[in-house]
Amino acid sequence: MDPLNWIVVAAYLAYVVVDGLRRSKGTHRIEGYFLAGRSLPWWAVGLSVMATQLSAITLIGTTGQGATDGLRFVQFYFGLPLAMALLGVTLVPLLRGAKVYTAYEYLERRFGPSTRALTAFLFLVSRGLAAGTIISAPGVVFSAVFGWPLAWSVALVGAPTVLYTMAGGIQAVTWTDVKQMFLIVAALVAVVAVLFVQMPVSPGDAFQIAGATGRLQVFDFSFSFSEKYTFWSGLFGGTVLMMSYFGADQSQVQRYLAARSVRAAKTSLLMSAYWKIPLQACVLLLGVLIFVFYQFQRPPLLFNPAHERAVVEARADEYEALQSRFDEAFALRETAARQAADAPNETAAARALDAFQAREAAAQEIRGEALALAQEVTGERPEDVNYIVPRFVLGNLPVGFAGLFVAAILAAAMSSVSSELNSLSTATVVDFYRRWFRPEAGDAHYLAVSKVATACWGLFACGVAVYAASLGSLIEVVNRFGSFFYGSILGVFLLAMIPGTREVGAVAGLVAGMTAVGLVSLFAPEVEFLWHNVIGAGVVVAVGTAASGAAAVRARADGSAQRQGRGS
């Protein structure tokens, strides 16, 4: 990468750390450190929430998803507006009124300490895994593209994030997120502008070519548990997932607990409800445009540079033969794409698009052979989806723009990871350390422990990042991790709003929900992960309500027996 690009990246990293340290003022008490004194404006909270969601996985994985699969992934977010509306009238005022530091504190008041401890523990596990996956996105890409050791690539993201999160708490996290959000959007706009300038066809022709391969298809109304992204999985599974993420996950709950008022908290969530789907569609559309760009500009046969180097070194003759076949297929595909773009009428365009689809299928078949060869050589799952956008950025963006996009990737990763680390530290200190070990210590002591906890969770996340790098599409990996836990955790909060439910029901329901999701994952792998959220929440509510009812019956029977004993 050009030295000017590295200067842009280095300047950004230095600015983030310095600004984060500057934001450490006013964090000498735990309410200031964990909740910014409950003083943040709604727009800052809203932008911070959106920056947390717009992680490096979004810039790398979602754009790659758009290039390989089109716009279908946006259905994943169809439940978001409904989830935000429901949370605005249920959990948001409930948790704000409880004056808690964590969502799980409320569960102890409603049920008891066992429910709080078990739910908080599940949050720590799920969020720790998710934080690692988020770090792995830029880590694995930098490692493959620049040839760095993976550990050093992970540290490039993890070290400065841990530093400013330890120093400034939620105050530093939120205000840094606000700035990072603007940088991310600016980088996306810059890449789209460059794409349209470099594209040899008009935007209308580009979209026509993308539509011919099905990449502009948004809606899939088929109902199937084995289809990953459909309208129904997004509406039902997505609603439960989003309600759990924004209503029961401390990394998001902590945001609106830090807002100035209940109204500010609700408004910050509605900001995501209004803007998340259009923004996500734009990110996917960027991937679609990169796919079209590579119809006219020869792409690499393997987008992962590390796999490409390994295959060339081990099986050069086979790879060279595949490359030759791919070059021929690309030339034919490019000709078909240009004919489709230059067709004089709709009939000619339709014939040209049919020919283009056939050429595209032939090119993808050869790419599939190359991926299979890479798997034989490396023993790793040869996913290209995480490398499409980085290879485009580094190979085609002008000097300075590539540095801007790399800085945006770092910004996206750091904004998400800092939120995760801050919430992990909060739950560790408030729900476990202060609750069970040192309930009477002063703020200075808790602040010191929270900073150590932040560093420890940062090391844990970096370790997970190395493992997560080999699991495929990272945008799917992070949501798979979350979907294993989210539905069951939400189910406990739903139980808390049902009159008459008891702690025995909450614990039994939570154990049953996690068990049910685990059994479905093992014995019904065809059921896609979005439905795991619905299964977990449904089982928790059903079992928890039944167990609470049974406990109430036993209690009444015991009370009646005691009264009869006293009467006799």
CB 75 within 8 A of CB 157: no
The residue among 238, 180, 223 whose CA lies nearest residue 418 is 180
pLDDT in the model for residue 139: 78
- CA 358-364-370 angle, to 5 degrees, is 150
Q: What is the pLDDT along the chain (568 residues), one digit of tens a residue?
A: 678 878 888 887 787 777 766 766 656 677 777 777 788 888 888 888 787 777 667 777 778 888 888 888 888 788 888 888 888 888 888 888 888 889 999 999 999 999 999 999 989 988 888 888 778 777 776 776 677 777 788 888 788 888 877 776 777 778 777 877 888 888 888 888 888 888 888 888 888 888 888 888 888 888 877 777 788 888 888 888 888 888 888 888 888 888 888 888 888 888 877 788 888 888 888 889 998 899 888 888 888 888 888 899 999 999 999 999 999 999 998 888 888 888 878 788 788 888 888 898 899 899 999 999 998 998 877 667 778 888 888 888 887 878 888 888 777 777 778 888 888 999 999 999 999 999 888 888 998 999 899 999 988 988 888 776 555 555 566 666 677 888 899 899 999 989 989 999 999 999 999 999 989 988 888 888 788 888 999 999 999 999 999 988 888 877 776 767 666 5
CB 19 within 8 A of CB 154: no
Cα dihedral angle (499, 504, 510, 511), rounded to 10 degrees? -160
DSSP string, 9-31: HHHHHHHHHHHHHHTTTT-SSHH
pLDDT in the model for residue 565: 66
CB 158 within 8 A of CB 457: no
Three-state SS sequence of 311-326: HHHHCHHHHHHHHHHH
End-to-end CA distance of the chain: 90
Q: Which amino acid does the sequence have at 334?
A: E
The residue among 392, 356, 34 whose CA lies nearest residue 194 is 392
The tens digit of pLDDT for each residue in 229-285 reads 788 888 888 888 888 888 888 888 888 888 888 888 888 888 877 788 888 888 888
Question: b vs e for 270-284, b when ≥16 Cβ sit within 10 Å of the residue's Cβ?
Answer: bbbbeebbebbbebb
DSSP string, 380-430: S----TTTHHHHHHHHHSPTTHHHHHHHHHHHHHHHHHHHHHHHHHHHIII
CATH architecture assignment, domain 3-294+393-432+444-553: Up-down Bundle (1.20)
Question: Cα 203 from chain centroid?
Answer: 30
Three-state SS sequence of 177-228: HHHHHHHHHHHHHHHHHHHHHHCCCCHHHHHHHHHHCCCCCCCCCCCCCCCC
Residue 68 pairs in a beta bridge with none
The tens digit of pLDDT for each residue in 84-137 reads 888 888 888 888 888 888 999 999 999 999 999 999 998 998 888 888 877 877
How far apart CA 145 and CA 142 sit, in angstroms, is 5
Question: Cα 134 from chain centroid?
Answer: 7
The residue among 388, 275, 283, 272 whose CA lies nearest residue 73 is 283
CB 29 within 8 A of CB 444: no
- CA 441-447-450 angle, to 5 degrees, is 105
- CA 561-565-568 angle, to 5 degrees, is 135
How far apart CA 473 and CA 452 sit, in angstroms, is 32
Q: Which helix (H) or strand (E) holds 101?
A: none
How far apart CA 188 and CA 157 sit, in angstroms, is 20
- CA 261-47-19 angle, to 5 degrees, is 100
pLDDT in the model for residue 113: 92
Q: Which amino acid does the sequence have at 333?
A: R
Q: Tell me if residue 40 falls in helix, strand or coil.
A: strand
Q: Tell me if residue 137 falls in helix, strand or coil.
A: helix
How far apart CA 462 and CA 97 sit, in angstroms, is 36
Cα dihedral angle (194, 198, 202, 207), rounded to 10 degrees? -70
Q: Tell me if residue 259 falls in helix, strand or coil.
A: strand
Instruction: Name the DSSP letter for residue 38.
Output: G
497 burial (CB, 10 Å; 0-12 / 13-18 / 19+) is exposed
Q: Tell me if residue 514 falls in helix, strand or coil.
A: helix
Domain locations in the chain?
3-294+393-432+444-553, 305-382
Question: Cα 37 from chain centroid?
Answer: 28
Tokens read off for 551 = 């406990």
How far apart CA 14 and CA 352 sit, in angstroms, is 52
